Amino acid sequence: MLSGNLLWVLMGTMLLGIAAGITGTFSFLQKQSLVGDAAAHAALPGIALAFLITGQKELPILMIGAALTSALSVYCIQWIVTYSKLKADAAIGLVLAVFFGIGIVLLTIVNRSPLGNQSGLNDFIFGKAATMTKADLTWLFISAAIIIIVSLLLYKEWKLMIFDPVYAKGIGLPIEALKACLTALIVMTIVTGIQAVGVILMSALLIIPAASAKLWTRRLSTMLIFSGITGGIAGLAGTFISSLRTGLSTGPIIVLFAATIFFISYLFSPKAGQLSKYIRKMKFRKQEKLS
Amino acid sequence: MRALEALVVQNLSVAYDKKRVLENANLIVPKGHLAAIIGPNGAGKSTFLKAVLNQLPNKVGEVEILGKAFSPKSLVVGYVPQRNAVDWDFPTTAFDVVLMGRYGSRGLMKRPTKHDKQLAMQALTSVGMEDYADRSIGQLSGGQQQRVFLARALAQNAEVYFLDEPFAGVDAATEKTIIDILKNLKAQGKSIFVVHHDLQTVKEYFDYTILLNKTILAAGKTEEVFTAEKLQQTYGGNLFMMQAL
């Protein structure tokens, strides 16, 4: 039943899920999750622009366009927060809407152009893993591997930088470079994931596995492993299901799977789960009655 | 001869948004003192500390620690920030935080060694927190968090320590533990600077006092500097804690 190509696609989205689970954990702890959301939406104008300028729909070209506008959106958010009186939430909302709006306008222009009808750019909105070619998958494997390896190498530095930036700077860590590197890796994760998951829901793959993992552990190392596994399972299962029934976009199914894992964590995690909270409460009441 | 001085500050000024917080501060403190930095709220104590530690971009003036311009790479400086400076919900354990004190000697992308872990555990033991090593930091009380921070600075094995209000919000027992550790460091010949708020305990805890309000107003042995006249000059107007003297 599993064709060779599907097998590769499944492995690709699984690896993507693992990478997103890892970088997502760092951005979650940095309280930058919503910046990732804006950056993902901001990939759309880049994709459309890359197509309009070059007339090609090769993935590397579209990915470069996506990376440029995505990184630009992060820069805009930081610029607004630094140089205006606006707070981060307003800046993120503003930048997300403007970039995505421009993206939709450009996409409409693409669709009206003679070449645009068959360009398949619309699939970047909700994602379609099944349309990935061997070449697309090669790119995905390479960049997911880079993301995972760099994250593991900088684990110790990012941990200290996020927990206590002042101390980190005090012992000579290059804080600005480390921050920029993390942002670059998150943009890279987004760009890697948009073909399979789509620009609208890509941020969910960064946020939900990290949020689920936070409920299970109080150690960063375990949190990263759990988050990576959650992302991997969601990517695998979501792609598999959407490949069974044609017509279903991959992104929403992946997100629904991740959300299911979050919901299970919310109810049943031994540390922060609702069930164990209820049991502890009951035990306490029983003891109070006995004494 | 400068190497005999723990801290030399010359013409240090800092401005935030045009507003000058620190103006022309000058200070020379010899090695081996346990020094209190005191002054009213908004006097610029934390700013002074951050400027000395080279954390502020918009400062002018010279700072030398043990005869050298401040460089984070030298690791002779141990810094204990205010407790509210970090996110205590961060998923990590007390031991891991103390181990961060060894990161500086390890370098980028290198894992801490067994020796680092031993030093971290020693530091944790010296602040009486060894039983809490595996506890997540969010579960610790305020005083325990402060002790973990202190242990991290100890693990770094620095020569000069800067502490920003280590006694804020901690109970009497923890305050005693912390001050005993600081006195012990002083006995080992290290230099310690503490931003402090409680004037009642200055004479008991510190052998050196630095009075600060927008600039350094006085600095020297506590019995010479901690006088009614000088405190009045620092705090201005009617000083109500005369009984502290």
Residues of B in contact with A219 (CB under 8 A): 91-93, 96, 136
Whole-number percent of chain B with pLDDT over 70: 94
Burial class (CB in 10 A: 0-12, 13-18, 19+), A278: exposed
| A161 Cβ contact partners less than 8 Å away, ≥ 6 residues apart | A168, A173, A175, A178, A179
With an 8 Å Cβ cutoff, is B233 touching chain A?
no
> How many angstroms away from the CA of B92 is the closest CA of chain A?
5
Domain boundaries, chain A: 4-290
Looking at chain B, the domain(s) classified CATH 3.40.50.300 span 2-76+158-244
Residue A18, pLDDT > 60, answer: yes
With an 8 Å Cβ cutoff, is B86 touching chain A?
yes
Distance CA B72, CA B69 (A): 10
Q: Give the per-residue pLDDT at A263.
A: 95
Query: Which member of A156, A169, A217 has the closest CB to residue B103?
Result: A156
Query: Which member of A167, A172, A218 has the closest CB to residue B73?
Result: A172
Per-residue pLDDT tens for A121-159? 888 998 888 778 888 899 999 999 999 999 999 999 999
Q: If DSSP codes are grouped into helix, strand and coil, which group holds residue B149?
A: helix
Q: If DSSP codes are grouped into helix, strand and coil, which group holds residue B227?
A: coil
Distance CA A244, CA A250 (A): 11
Q: Give the dihedral sign, CA A260/A262/A265/A267.
A: negative
**Any alpha helices (H) in A84-154, and if so which ranges?**
88-112, 123-126, 134-153
CATH superfamily of B2-76+158-244: P-loop containing nucleotide triphosphate hydrolases (3.40.50.300)
* Mutation target among B47, B52, B96 for the A interface, most CBs of A within 10 A: B96
Architecture of domain A4-290: Orthogonal Bundle (1.10)
Per-residue pLDDT tens for A39-76? 999 999 999 999 999 988 888 899 999 999 999 999 99
User: Under an 8 A CB cutoff, do A29 and B73 touch?
Assistant: no
User: Under an 8 A CB cutoff, do A170 and B73 touch?
Assistant: no
Tokens of A233: 């399972």
Q: Give the per-residue pLDDT at A272.
A: 80
Q: Give the per-residue pLDDT at B2.
A: 47
User: What ipTM is given for this predicted complex?
Assistant: 0.83
**If you average pLDDT over every residue of chain A, what do you get?**
91
Q: Rounded to two decimals, what is the model's pTM?
A: 0.87
Residue A165, pLDDT > 80, answer: yes
Size of interface A-B (CB pairs under 8 A): 75
Report which of residues B78 and A65 the model is more confident about: A65
User: Under an 8 A CB cutoff, do B100 and A170 touch?
Assistant: no
With an 8 Å Cβ cutoff, is B166 touching chain A?
no
Distance CA A71, CA A50 (A): 15
Residue B175, pLDDT > 50, answer: yes
∠ CA B124-B126-B129 to the nearest 5 degrees?
45
Distance CA B119, CA B78 (A): 15
